[in-house]
A and B are shown apart, each in its own frame.
Chain A
């Protein structure tokens, strides 16, 4: 690949996917969104030959690793004692204090981190199961199992919290097979 071709390919990837990558990070770590996005595309630039034909899962996988590395660094420095687990960003929204959002936030926290990530990659990042599997480095079948488990758990938690959204969730969520 010539230098011009590299530049053009990278520019296309960056322009097409930067918002999706940034949104992925922002949902989970708003403070890191721009830094992780920049680092992710720097990795992309340096490893352009390794970027597959379907680049978004690869990019999000890189972003996930970069973000987790940031988190580990923070943990080593003891700066996030109260944020040991990955928290979706909705808790930062003032509206999250009440109602449906609050209930969803609580329910999401009850999920295992891996199950929650499968669910959120599907719901928020709109990745299909193959893409989620690519991001997490697991099989499609594993994604399906985790997604089913996460939905059911989420429904139970919402119901247990008595949230408005959760009232019908048991039935709504229980038949969403993978």
Chain B
């Protein structure tokens, strides 16, 4: 025998007298575990700030990128005309004013830039109004903000995979993130909206 230490300890194994778990108890334990939820699939937490910042970058900066070599983009006068038109179709909360467009005269812009610039401003305004209304217990303000947020979301154009950047619009990820943010706020969780405001407004 080469290992008497092990043998000695095994002679005094306290579990030698341990009775197995009775089958009924074992079965109950097993069934309880089987009924418990399995681990949630590892879903990446939406990176609100990143997604929404990216969205804003696409909307406010990327869309304004100069594509002088690509025919068919909007020039500054076109964007100004569109901006004037689109502002008439979007409401802002009382007291909030549209920001002026500051466009280089010789630049060209992605299509729909004016619409996206307006939507981004309106989202900042209505999300802020929504949070303030909720804090103040203003049910009408909350309901109006929710309706406006949904309306703005419906107007966000989709930038399809494979399209050129100057096609404008928001990626599907941005649209999904926006939907989730609005849905979360409607459920009382304003975290995603606050993240949007902090990142973009």
Contacts and interface: CB of A to CB of B under 8 A. Distances in A.
Interface of A: 6-7, 10-11, 14-15, 18-19, 22-23, 26-27, 30, 34, 37-38, 41-42, 45-48, 88-90, 92-93, 100-101, 104, 119-120, 122-124, 151, 154-155, 165, 168-169, 172-173, 175-176
B5 A22 contact: no
Interface stretch (B8-16, B120-128, B145-153): B8-16
Contact of A176 (B4, B25, B32): B4
Nearest to A47: B39
Contact of A173 (B5, B13, B30): B5
A27 B9 contact: no
B14 A27 contact: yes
Given A14-B30, A41-B33, A42-B33, A154 B5 contact: yes
Contacts of A48: 38
Interface residues of B, number: 26
B21 A151 contact: no
Contacts, number: 98
Contacts of B38: 6, 45-46, 48
B109 to A, nearest CB: 49
9 contacts: A11-B30, A18-B21, A18-B29, A34-B29, A38-B29, A46-B36, A46-B39, A120-B9, A123-B10
A104 B8 CA distance: 9
Contacts of A173: 4-5
A88 B14 CA distance: 8
Q: 3 closest pairs, A vs B, by CB?
A: A172-B4, A123-B9, A23-B15
Given A27-B14, A104-B12, 6 more contacts: A26-B14, A27-B13, A38-B33, A42-B36, A45-B36, A46-B37
Interface of B: 2-6, 8-10, 12-15, 18, 20-21, 25-26, 29-30, 32-34, 36-39
A22 B14 CA distance: 12
A6 B36 CA distance: 13
Contact of A10 (B8, B10, B25, B34): B34
A169 B18 CA distance: 27
Contact of B5 (A92, A100, A151): A151
A34 B21 contact: yes
B5 A155 contact: yes
